[in-house]
Amino acid sequence: MMGRIACANVLSDLYAMGITECDNMLMLLSVSQKMNEKDREKVMPLMIRGFRDAAEEGGTSVTGGQTVINPWIIVGGVASVVCQPNEFIMPDGAVPGDVLVLTKPLGTQVAVNAHQWLDQPERWNKIKLVVTKEEVKEAYQEAMFSMATLNRTAAGLMHKFQAHAATDVTGFGLLGHANNLAMQQRSDVAFVIHNLPIIAKMTAISKAYGNAFRLLQGLSAETSGGLLVCLPREQAAKFCAEMKSHSSGAQGASGGAWIIGIVEKGDRRARIIEKPRIIEVPPRGSLAARQDNSASGPELSTNLS
Amino acid sequence: MMGRIACANVLSDLYAMGITECDNMLMLLSVSQKMNEKDREKVMPLMIRGFRDAAEEGGTSVTGGQTVINPWIIVGGVASVVCQPNEFIMPDGAVPGDVLVLTKPLGTQVAVNAHQWLDQPERWNKIKLVVTKEEVKEAYQEAMFSMATLNRTAAGLMHKFQAHAATDVTGFGLLGHANNLAMQQRSDVAFVIHNLPIIAKMTAISKAYGNAFRLLQGLSAETSGGLLVCLPREQAAKFCAEMKSHSSGAQGASGGAWIIGIVEKGDRRARIIEKPRIIEVPPRGSLAARQDNSASGPELSTNLS
């Protein structure tokens, strides 16, 4: 899963520019000197396979790279493509009136940490009043599948629905990347975020843990999050509907999409309103998801403006 | 210097295919979590500058990359180019009768280690009978400059003198890379290495230290070594002469070139003859180098069959 997530994250930089094809991938791997031989022989081939599988899902393949020894495991890579101007969308065309769409729920860092805390009583005690172990396990699974999901479907739909700009949401969190994107715009625009789609219960955990993740401030890292896409107002709901039709449950699905904000005239910054609406996204394997499969639909946009 | 060497090594993979231009470079950096802030603020910008300076010397520039935190410092990168078929030389065209040329002396790993041992009496005592501290310092400087030297001049001359195949000599040592190259040949050939150009005194150190480096077996790592080039017999001396004319002393020079062996009919392997001739290459800053600036000339080929 770590290999898959790394590959999804590497490819995501292409997808954020609306590029759906990758010519070539390199894999960069550091093998931990602290692993014993048995673990190393077991773990590293699985990690490499995950990376390769995700590359194959992206219609590309790993042709080279480099492996080094290091105290920590590291996996990453490089995705390259040579393409025509009409194959990519420069991330600088947002205009006032556009709508902001996010294609994966937030909260993956919280989910991964909470899952580790299942075995750490001192930390678990801080959150056990707001979440069950089962809910943490479901959220962890959701986070894994979400991070391993390629943003390729979204990249393709960016062309179909005339996206004006996009970025992928990774280590700097939603607001960090939204700010970076806002800074690059040709027009005087500001991004205003009203809704935060978050894996169910992660908001409660984040609050119970003293807001250390700054999840509701949009600053929790997402590692391999979705695309944040600026779309013409009349296209946003259709984009979300089509993303949802691709996300019907299976692993490798596109993960849905949520309208989260609007583009206004402004000074090339992004902000989250004071009391954003939290959209609790049920993990796809959960009972809630099975009962309510409309949760990731575009109708959530009604709360905007 | 570490940044420069890393960049030279990254570019070297292109140069080994006779490619002299690089379209784009990425820099990959891991900053050590164990450095204090003061050292980090001092060291990392210098390392980045070294990498960028070498990229600039290669006529290219660093446009992106990634930085992570890690116990160890790591610096590396990716060099990409899109080019026409006539701009690269596939490394598979060696034929019997070709001559093997090496464009940097061997022994950089020995030099770097010996330099560290200046402060480790127990290790220094093992080699102090065969080398002076001054000689170790000169060899270390030579190794630094040599590893930081781009193989770009050699890449250009590969076209001028119709090279049939080449590889760069790095972590697997001369014989390791010679074997890899031999395996890729279209013709049934074997590479036979007769001469080993080695930074002066490194052979003596290697022997005094119990042959731990396997330098004379061609297995000592070179990190950022020269190109091993298969040239038509009638071109090899001219290639070396022209390499030498580019290497007139200054930092950033091409580093000379030595005829080290021949291509015979064989089973796609490389070997070093039982008693190879050792060519002691004086460090460029040394008295020996100032007295004898012919040391890296092609006349050394006279020893060959």
- Taking CB atoms and an 8 Å limit, are B30 and A74 in contact across chains? yes
- Taking CB atoms and an 8 Å limit, are A74 and B66 in contact across chains? no
- Taking CB atoms and an 8 Å limit, are B74 and A82 in contact across chains? no
The beta-carbon neighbor of A71 closest among B26, B28, B72 is: B72
A-interface mutation test, from B74, B172, B180, B224, most A Cβ less than 10 A away: B74
**pLDDT-derived band at B290, boundaries 50, 70, 90:** low
Question: pLDDT tens digit string along B136-165?
Answer: 999 999 999 999 999 999 999 999 999 999
Q: Is B177 a residue whose pLDDT tops 60?
A: yes
The beta-carbon neighbor of B78 closest among A71, A72, A78 is: A78
Mean pLDDT for B239-258 is 75
- For the ranges A140-144, A230-234, B291-295, the lowest mean pLDDT is seen at B291-295
Q: If you measure CA to CA, which chain B residue comes closest to A68? A: B74
| CA B211 – CA B203 distance, rounded (Å) | 9
Spatial CA neighbour of B283 closest among B108, B123, B153: B108
Instruction: Tell the CATH superfamily of the B98-286 domain.
Output: PurM-like C-terminal domain (3.90.650.10)
Question: pLDDT tens digit string along A257-289?
Answer: 999 999 999 999 999 999 999 999 999 877 776
Percent of chain A with pLDDT over 90: 88
Q: Is B288 a residue whose pLDDT tops 80?
A: no
Interchain contact A121–B (C-beta under 8 A): no
ipTM: 0.77
The beta-carbon neighbor of A28 closest among B28, B72, B82 is: B28
What is the amino acid identity at position B122? E
Spatial CA neighbour of B57 closest among B105, B11, B99, B126: B11
Owner of token pair 């050699």: B154
Question: pLDDT tens digit string along A171-200?
Answer: 999 999 999 999 999 999 999 999 999 999
**pLDDT-derived band at A248, boundaries 50, 70, 90:** low
The beta-carbon neighbor of A70 closest among B26, B74, B80 is: B74
The beta-carbon neighbor of B82 closest among A26, A74, A82 is: A82
The beta-carbon neighbor of A70 closest among B26, B70, B78 is: B70
Spatial CA neighbour of B102 closest among B28, B36, B191: B191
Interchain contact B83–A (C-beta under 8 A): no
B29-48: b (≥16 Cβ within 10 Å) or e: bbbbeeeeeeeeeebbeebb
- Taking CB atoms and an 8 Å limit, are B72 and A74 in contact across chains? no
Spatial CA neighbour of B63 closest among B25, B22, B21: B25
Owner of token pair 């100032």: B290
Interchain contact B72–A (C-beta under 8 A): yes
Phi, psi of B283 (to 5 degrees): -55, 145
- Bridge-based pairing of strands B74-80 and B24-32 is antiparallel
Q: What is the pLDDT of residue A285?
A: 75
Interchain contact B84–A (C-beta under 8 A): no
Stronger pLDDT, A286 or B262, i.e. the higher one: B262
Q: What is the pLDDT of residue A240?
A: 96
Interchain contact B81–A (C-beta under 8 A): no
Question: pLDDT tens digit string along A119-134?
Answer: 999 999 999 999 999 9
Mean pLDDT for B202-226 is 95
- Report CA dihedral (A283, A284, A285, A286) to the nearest 10 degrees: 50
Shortest Cα–Cα distance, B70 to chain A (Å)? 7
Question: pLDDT tens digit string along B54-71?
Answer: 999 999 999 999 999 999
Shortest Cα–Cα distance, A80 to chain B (Å)? 9
Q: What is the pLDDT of residue B296?
A: 45
Q: Is B180 a residue whose pLDDT tops 90?
A: yes
Interchain contact A210–B (C-beta under 8 A): no
| CA B181 – CA B198 distance, rounded (Å) | 21
**A71 interaction partners in chain B (CB closer than 8 Å):** 70-72
Question: What would the 3-class secondary structure string for chain A be?
Answer: CHHHHHHHHHHHHHHCCCCCCCCEEEEEEEEECCCCHHHHHHHHHHHHHHHHHHHHHCCCCEEEEEEEEECCCEEEEEEECCCCHHHCCCCCCCCCCCEEEECCCECHHHHHHHHHHCCCHHHHHHHCCCCCHHHHHHHHHHHHHHHHCCCHHHHHHHHHCCCCEEEECCCCHHHHHHHHHHHCCCCCEEEEEEEEEEECCHHHHHHHCCCCCCCCCCCCCCCCCCEEEEECHHHHHHHHHHHHHHCCCCCCCCCCCEEEEEEEECCCCEEEEEEEEEEEECCCCCHHHHHCCCCCCHHHHHHCC
B125-144: b (≥16 Cβ within 10 Å) or e: eebeeebeeebbbbbbbbbb
Q: Among 2.10.240.10, 3.40.50.720, 3.30.1330.10, 3.40.50.12780, what is the CATH number of B14-80?
A: 3.30.1330.10
How many CB atoms within 10 Å of residue A65?
17
**pLDDT-derived band at B292, boundaries 50, 70, 90:** low
- Bridge-based pairing of strands A258-265 and B62-70 is unpaired
Q: Is the separation of the CB atoms in A300 and A279 below 8 Å?
A: yes
Specify the 3-state DSSP secondary structure of B244: helix
- Taking CB atoms and an 8 Å limit, are B70 and A68 in contact across chains? no
Q: Is B302 a residue whose pLDDT tops 70?
A: no
Interchain contact B69–A (C-beta under 8 A): no
Mean pLDDT for B273-291 is 85
In whole numbers, what is the pLDDT of chain B averaged over residues?
92
Spatial CA neighbour of A198 closest among A178, A169, A229: A169
**pLDDT-derived band at A291, boundaries 50, 70, 90:** low
Q: Is A301 a residue whose pLDDT tops 50?
A: no
- Taking CB atoms and an 8 Å limit, are A68 and B74 in contact across chains? yes
B260-283: b (≥16 Cβ within 10 Å) or e: bbbbeebebebbbeeebebbbbbb
| CA A166 – CA A231 distance, rounded (Å) | 9
**pLDDT-derived band at A247, boundaries 50, 70, 90:** confident
The beta-carbon neighbor of B80 closest among A71, A74, A80 is: A80
Phi, psi of B247 (to 5 degrees): -105, 35
- Taking CB atoms and an 8 Å limit, are A70 and B68 in contact across chains? no
Q: What is the pLDDT of residue B285?
A: 75
Question: pLDDT tens digit string along A207-228?
Answer: 999 988 999 999 999 999 999 9
Q: Is A67 a residue whose pLDDT tops 50?
A: yes
Q: Is the separation of the CB atoms in A188 and A266 below 8 Å?
A: yes
Q: Where are the domains of chain A?
A: 14-80, 98-286
Mean pLDDT for A31-54 is 96
| CA A55 – CA A8 distance, rounded (Å) | 8
Contact partners, residue A7, CB within 8 Å, separation at least 6: A25, A27, A50, A51, A52, A53, A54, A55, A58, A77
**A30 interaction partners in chain B (CB closer than 8 Å):** 74
